[in-house]
Amino acid sequence: MKPTLIFLALASMAGLSAAAEIAQPHAAGIEAKNYLWNKPNKTLTRALKQKADPEKGKIAYEECRGCHKADASGRPDAGYPQLAGQHTEVLIKQMLDTRSGRRDNPRMHPFIAADAIPTRSIPDVAAYLHGLPVPDTNHKGDGKNLDHGKALYDKDCGKCHGAAGEGNGKEFHPKVASQHYPYLYRESMDIRDGQRRNADTKMVKILKSYSDEDVAAVSDYMSRLPPVM
Amino acid sequence: MRHRSLQAIAGLTLFAGGIAFSAAAETVKGDPAKAVPLVERLCMACHGQDGNSLIPSFPKLAGQHPEYLLHEMQEYKTKHRDNEMMSPVVLELSATDMANLAVYFAAQKPVPGTPSEPGLLALGKKIYLDGNSESGLPSCDGCHEENGKGSARFPRIAGQNPEYTMEQFHLYATGKRKFGKKVMVTVAERITEQEAKAVAEYIASMP
């Protein structure tokens, strides 16, 4: 049993596995030449068409609760987004983009990989999540720059994300109302800096001109928009 | 990963290959009375007559889900799980024996353990209910339920012997229990030694 002891000594520092380095597959995204953020693909088209069963989705979702919580309210400290009430189309696209490696999320990847959840369950989960009530207990920003945030939002973001932050499922525009502030802030920064590799290029162009303070103000404003079903 | 011949006897779809999502879990069909002589001859010495193993490195089987018990016996038979003490035992068991044993142990009343390091319980509870945001360790309650009783999809872990729990974490993390569900392998890869010890103590204390 000697090797085990050596292993234990090493493992006491980091995760139990020597290979705790988390990796996920990588698919071409925004950095690629002919990138189109909403380019149709077979898996997505089929998933969108599939007749979804929220009851089955509830069971499939059990595996996600450890991070996104049973009520799908997420964990703001961890950057786990609220999923309750999000549009089914958005949920499906984000799950598939994460699985294929177009959206980087190594923490979540092993749980959305094909060996963890069958592709046919993805629309079921989306239907289940879409039907959950949106909690208004989400984390909000410091509230100091809301007028500026509102001005930016109405000018630059509302045309896609909706005047009330309701988004648009058919267009894959996420609902942003009452999402966690830390998540909105980080996503917006990642979108601006090209790190969210499945983002809409039109939005990226707009956000490129934003300072960190602008991003904080608009994220705070979005987090305070009341829940929309 | 699939063993159709064995599956046939018990309608075991839940734990075969990728996780299946049947809303109504299929239950194992077996006769607990027929298991009694086998338990006394083959299992009792290590797992106790009522499945509440007293030896810390041997798992408790009492109250475990029958689907899981049956599936794990099959795993030893196919050498997907290999253990010098446990593997030889299953060799002489037929498919019917295994189904009978599964329903027998599932019906036994589980006895909670006594934690050996109560000082770790607070951290253990935190890991169990919140996971670790920094390392991306999901909370355990998400899958094993808040009370540790699991479901037809996820094994019961409440009351389990801490030594056995630790051993399983090491087996998952080092790729030696690699035919199990990958999600649990990921959990074991992300948990630290200290967190694992703490959560094992907390699990042991659960009724």
Is domain A43-135 in CATH 1.10.1060.10, yes or no?
no
- How would you label B66-76 residue by residue, b for 16+ Cβ within 10 Å and e otherwise? bbbbbbbbbbb
pTM beyond 0.80: the answer is yes
Q: Comparing C-alpha atoms, which of B12, B14, B15 is closest to residue B29?
A: B12
Considering only CB atoms, which chain A residues are within 8 Å of B150? none
The whole-angstrom separation of Cα A69 and Cα A83 is 9
Mean pLDDT for A104-117 is 95
What's the fold here for domain A146-223? Cytochrome Bc1 Complex; Chain D, domain 2 (1.10.760)
Do residues A180 and A223 lie in contact, with contact meaning Cβ atoms separated by under 8 Å? yes
Question: Which A-chain residues 97-116 have CB contacts (< 8 A) with chain B?
Answer: 106-108, 110-111, 113-116
Mean pLDDT for A102-124 is 96
Fold equal for A43-135 and A146-223: yes
Question: Which B-chain residues 121-140 have CB contacts (< 8 A) with chain A?
Answer: 130-131, 133-136, 138-140
Considering only CB atoms, which chain A residues are within 8 Å of B189? 15-17, 19-20
From B150, which residue of chain A is nearest by alpha-carbon distance? Answer: A62
From B138, which residue of chain A is nearest by alpha-carbon distance? Answer: A66
B76-85: long-range contacts, CB 8 A cutoff, minimum separation 24: B77/B6, B78/B3, B80/B179, B81/B177, B81/B179, B81/B180, B85/B46, B85/B58
Do residues A174 and A162 lie in contact, with contact meaning Cβ atoms separated by under 8 Å? no
Mutate to test the interface with A, among B139, B182, B189 (most CBs of A within 10 A): B189
Give CA separation, B43 vs A62, A179, A221, B97, in Å.
Answer: 33, 53, 63, 12
- How would you label A91-104 residue by residue, b for 16+ Cβ within 10 Å and e otherwise? bbbbbbbbbbbbbb
State whether B133 and A65 contact (CB < 8 Å): no
Per-chain mean pLDDT for chain A: 91
State whether B142 and A110 contact (CB < 8 Å): no
Residue A133 has pLDDT above 80, yes or no: yes
- The answer to whether A59 contacts chain B (CB < 8 Å) is yes
Residue A197 has pLDDT above 50, yes or no: yes
Fold equal for B9-106 and B118-205: yes
Residue A15 confidence (pLDDT) = 65
Please report the sign of the dihedral spanned by the C-alpha atoms of residue A138, residue A141, residue A147, residue A153. Answer: negative
Residue B153 has pLDDT above 50, yes or no: yes
Domain ranges of chain B: 9-106, 118-205
Residue A22 confidence (pLDDT) = 59
The whole-angstrom separation of Cα B80 and Cα A12 is 27
Residue A153 has pLDDT above 90, yes or no: yes
Per-chain mean pLDDT for chain B: 88
Residue B116 confidence (pLDDT) = 83
From B168, which residue of chain A is nearest by alpha-carbon distance? Answer: A16
Kindly state which CATH superfamily the domain B9-106 is placed in: Cytochrome c-like domain (1.10.760.10)
Helix (H, G, I), strand (E, B), or coil: what is residue B192?
Answer: strand
Distance from CA of A122 to the nearest CA of B (A): 12
Considering only CB atoms, which chain B residues are within 8 Å of A18? 174
Band (A17; pLDDT cuts 50, 70, 90): low
A50-99 pLDDT, tens digit per residue, is 999 999 999 999 999 999 999 999 999 889 999 999 999 999 999 999 99
Contacts of A220 (CB under 8 A, 6+ apart): A140, A141, A142, A143, A144, A145, A146, A149, A181
Residue A229 confidence (pLDDT) = 81
Residue B11 has pLDDT above 70, yes or no: no
B154-176 pLDDT, tens digit per residue, is 999 999 999 999 999 999 999 99
Domain ranges of chain A: 43-135, 146-223
CATH class belonging to B118-205? mainly alpha
The whole-angstrom separation of Cα B24 and Cα A123 is 19
- The answer to whether A125 contacts chain B (CB < 8 Å) is no
- How would you label A113-123 residue by residue, b for 16+ Cβ within 10 Å and e otherwise? beebbeeebbb
Band (B2; pLDDT cuts 50, 70, 90): very low
CB pairs under 8 A between A and B: 109
The amino acid sitting at A54 is P
B55-99 pLDDT, tens digit per residue, is 999 999 999 999 999 999 999 999 999 999 999 999 999 999 999
Mean pLDDT for A143-156 is 98
The whole-angstrom separation of Cα B165 and Cα B60 is 10
The whole-angstrom separation of Cα A126 and Cα A133 is 14
